[in-house]
Amino acid sequence: MTGTKQFMGHFSFDADESPCAVARPFSRDVLGVEPTTLQTRFQCALDGQPIKALALPDGSVNARDWKSGALLRGQWQASP
């Protein structure tokens, strides 16, 4: 929407520091961003509004819902 400002959630790195998991509550997803190029490598659509996210080495993503605090879980998908 034009003229709308929205915040993003927290970001985190795994032990290898790649990718950076970026929670996006208004997009209902978590992005996996390559830290050196800032290119989106992965996306994980979720059934909530993730405010904090953590990517695990097996490709799974755990996040905390912004409003309810519920645990959200998903898998990385290659970004188009």
Q: What is the pLDDT of residue 32?
A: 94
Q: What is the pLDDT of residue 69?
A: 96
Cα 64 from chain centroid (whole Å): 10
Residue 76 lies in a domain: no
What are the angstrom distances between the C-alpha of 50 and each of 2, 3, 28, 59?
23, 23, 6, 17
Full residue range of the structural domain in which residue 51 is found: 11-66
Residue 80 lies in a domain: no
Number of domains in the chain: 1
Residue 73 lies in a domain: no
Least Cα distance to 58 among 79, 80, 73, 40 occurs for 73
pLDDT tens, per residue, the chain with 80 residues: 566 778 889 889 877 777 899 999 999 999 999 988 999 999 999 999 999 999 998 899 999 999 999 999 999 999 87
Residue 3 lies in a domain: no
Residue 31 lies in a domain: yes
Q: What is the pLDDT of residue 1?
A: 54
- Find where tokens 């997803």 sit: 29
Q: What is the pLDDT of residue 7?
A: 83
pTM: 0.88
Tokens at 56, concatenated: 């695990």
